[in-house]
Amino acid sequence: AAQRRAFGFEVHVNASSAGPGAGNGVFIAGQVPPGSLVLFYPGVSIDAADMLLLPGGTRAFDGNEYLMARYDRTIIDASPRALKVLPPDAIGCPLSVAQMVNHPPEGKLPSVVPAAIDWGIDMGLHEDLVPLLPNVSYQHSASAQKLLAAGSGGEPIERNLLDHFRASLAEGVRPPEPEEGPILKGLGFITTRVLHDEELFLNYRFNPRNGYPKWYTPVDQEEDTRRWA
């Protein structure tokens, strides 16, 4: 009821209709017009310069199924491990569950698309709302750096000469922060049509050259091919 008063709709997580093995999915209760922001993709925001600071480079992402990229090559890590560094209030936000949206099963079409969101202090956010933001920056979060540097659950890897060299490269390619303050990069999910009491689906757009899992039905294979060309 509180969600409906605040947003005009409710979001809840329940068993997915996508088929056996799909686990949970995200559902909308109520009616939502097209072009509405309905979900946030929570997690650690990692930009291109941050990649140079990750111990092991992109190997730190091996086996991680919760990565989503923005148009500017920033990656949002919504893995259970990454979510641990978010403030409790951010985790508790009912809209911060986009990482649980499933790919549409055969016969269904996507109902949401991802869109970049830049959180900046010039947006006039009240300080009481800052802990509700669904993302933290790898660059500005010591907790995120410690977590992602910790190999396979062990102690953080000590910095060595290679780490310092990577840090120097990262500072060289990182764009300067705007005068109004740092920008926190995130992602939101936008509705593509009128939705009414239904499960949300996102086109995962897997690379056809890597082959598809048995459960995956491409929405538009030609589009997927163009994307990965």
pLDDT given for residue 144 in this prediction = 60
Residue 85: pLDDT over 60: yes
Amino acid at 38: V
Q: What percent of the chain has pLDDT over 70?
A: 79
pLDDT given for residue 110 in this prediction = 97
pLDDT given for residue 132 in this prediction = 84
CATH number, residue 39: 2.170.270.10
Among candidate residues 8, 55, 47, the one with its CA nearest the CA of residue 29: 8
Residue 137: pLDDT over 60: yes
Residue 162: pLDDT over 70: no
Give residue 98's pLDDT band: very low, low, confident or very high (50, 70, 90). very high
pLDDT given for residue 173 in this prediction = 43
Residues 6 or more apart in contact with residue 191 via CB below 8 angstroms = 32, 33, 34, 35, 36, 38, 111, 112
- Tell me if 220 sits within 8 A of 103, measured CB to CB: no
Beta bridge partners of 67: 77
CA dihedral for 201, 207, 212, 218, sign (positive or negative): positive
Q: State the total domains in the chain.
A: 1
Give residue 5's pLDDT band: very low, low, confident or very high (50, 70, 90). confident
pLDDT given for residue 79 in this prediction = 93
Q: Measure the CA–CA gap between 128 and 143, rounded to whole angstroms.
A: 21
CA distances from 11 to 1, 69, 90, 148 (A): 11, 24, 15, 30
User: What residues make up the domain containing 121?
Assistant: 2-227
pLDDT given for residue 174 in this prediction = 47
pLDDT given for residue 143 in this prediction = 60
Q: Measure the CA–CA gap between 157 and 163, rounded to whole angstroms.
A: 10
pTM of the model: 0.82
Residue 55: pLDDT over 80: no
Average pLDDT over residues 68-92: 91
Average pLDDT over residues 54-63: 78
CA geometry: angle 93, 43, 228, nearest 5 deg: 125
Which range, 37-46, 129-138, 143-152, is most confident? 37-46
Average pLDDT over residues 115-137: 80
